[in-house]
Structure 1
Amino acid sequence: MEVKLIIFLIIAYFMGSIPTGVVIGKKFKGIDIREHGSKNTGATNAYRVLGKQYGIIVLLADALKGYLPVFLAHLAGINGWQLILVGLVTIVGHTLSMFLKFKGGKGVATSLGVFLYLVPNIVLILVAVFILIAFSTKYVSLASVSAAGLFPILVLFMPVKPELGKWNMFGFALIIALFVIFKHRSNIQRLLHGNENKFGAKK
């Protein structure tokens, strides 16, 4: 493995690990969002606990920390499966943060940032699906799981940048989809039992 790739993998993990929800909650509200709501560090819980403004900021920050590592790595000449690996490590950093004793969020917003750079055409469809489901059902978790499940299917049937490789990208999409669904397993249980928190509800 070349030195340049190793450097960018370290950068990717570090950037992914930055717990934006925790930092913003403590800095601007004096609140540790890990102690409130669903206790998750992501944008949905930030919205619920900190309010709409800060929830949107956390969403954008988490997406940006997913976008930047792959953007910078690609700019430096990293491509193909190596660029995909940078994206994967970024998402792992978010879900297993070095700053949170290797705990973290569910990876949805950070994955959005990674894939917005890698496969923007597919992400636009997923965002539309997410918004449609989230606002029609008021369940963000259902929207997240649905978009995650659709992701590898779209990668399989839609154009992907040749330099990434169709099957490389499909494998990556499948891994992330399964991972996101796994991280939402408690939400899925609550959905099945009819007691999942709805979007906008304050708990």
Structure 2
Amino acid sequence: MPLIESQILEVLLFSYLLGSFPSGVVFTKIAGSTDIRKMGSGNIGATNVLRTGNKFLAFLTLISDLGKGLLAIKMANLIDPNMNITLVASLSCLAGHIFPIWIKFKGGKGVATAIGILFALSWQTALIVIAIWSIIAAISRYSSLAALTAFTIAPLLMTIFENKFQFLAFCLTIIIWITHKKNIKRLLKGQETKINLRKNKTN
């Protein structure tokens, strides 16, 4: 196998398996909490973990999921910092999070992991996306609406700060919209679940 094909395969497998780590499931089980897949939206991401009432677990899940995207790109760049490798690492890691092999391919929506990828590509873009998400979430209390809004603007931000990654940012945006298709329907019907930032439990 040619070297470049071998490198791409290595990056693909590593990034996918890294993305597959089900942070929300692992952390809530270690804490003795309810199986996150059996409550709220059934999603394994930080927003649904927050619905357990444990903000600390939600924060751990958020940081872990974000870290997966960041680490996937950084490790890929150590192998070969070119656009193809970066694209493979990004999409493979995100695919791993959305379709994790460890829990029957039923994962999260990819928001935090995608933000981690943005951090690796352009920290300015990532910080603004987080700021937009935070503002929309605080005002509307809809995590899905916040994510959709923030990522819709991401390609434009990437054009400003790191133009060479504009296409990759666009790909991330499309994926986020696809994974939120059920949320979009609920938003349009006024049936989307709001996040509750006040509730807090220690177990």
Q: What percent identity do the matched residue pairs reach?
A: 35
Match of 1:57 in 2: 60
1:74 aligns with 77
Matched, 1:107 2:110: yes
Superposition RMSD in Å: 1.6
C-alpha separation in 2, matches of 1:97 and 1:23: 13
Indicate the residue corresponding to 1:159 in structure 2.
161
User: Structure 1 CA distance, aligned partners of 2:100 and 2:147?
Assistant: 21
Structure 1 residue 48, shift from structure 2 partner: 0.7
**Corresponding residue pairs, total:** 195
CA contact (8 A) 1:63 1:109 kept: yes
Match of 2:124 among 117, 121, 124: 121
Aligned mate of 1:188, from 176, 181, 184: 184
Aligned-residue offset at 1:32: 1.4
Larger CA deviation: 116-125 vs 24-33: 24-33
Which letter maps to 1:159? F
Q: Residue type of the partner of 1:5? A: I
Q: Give the TM-score normalised by structure 2.
A: 0.90
| Structure 1 residue 50, shift from structure 2 partner | 5.0
Are 1:25 and 1:50, in contact at CA under 8 Å, matched by a contact in 2? no
Pick the aligned partner of 2:15 from 12, 15, 30.
12
Q: Identify the residue that residue 134 of structure 2 maps to in structure 1.
A: 131
Matched AA of 1:194: G
Give how far 1:9 is off. 1.6
Please give the secondary structure, in 1, of the residue aligned with 2:31.
helix
Q: 1:5-30: per-residue Cα shift (whole Å, max 9, x none)?
A: 32122110100001111111112124
Q: For structure 1, list consecutive stretches of 5 or more residues without a partner in the other structure.
A: none
Separation (CA, whole Å) in 1 of partners of 2:135 and 2:88 = 30
1:176 aligns with 2:172: yes
Cα displacement string for residues 32-78 of structure 1 (whole angstroms, at most 9, x for unaligned residues)? 11111110010100111251110011000101111111111212333
Amino acid aligned to 1:196: E
Aligned twin of 1:44: 47
Which letter maps to 1:121? Q
Structure 1 runs (4+) greater than 6 angstroms displaced: none
Give the match's secondary structure for 1:41: coil
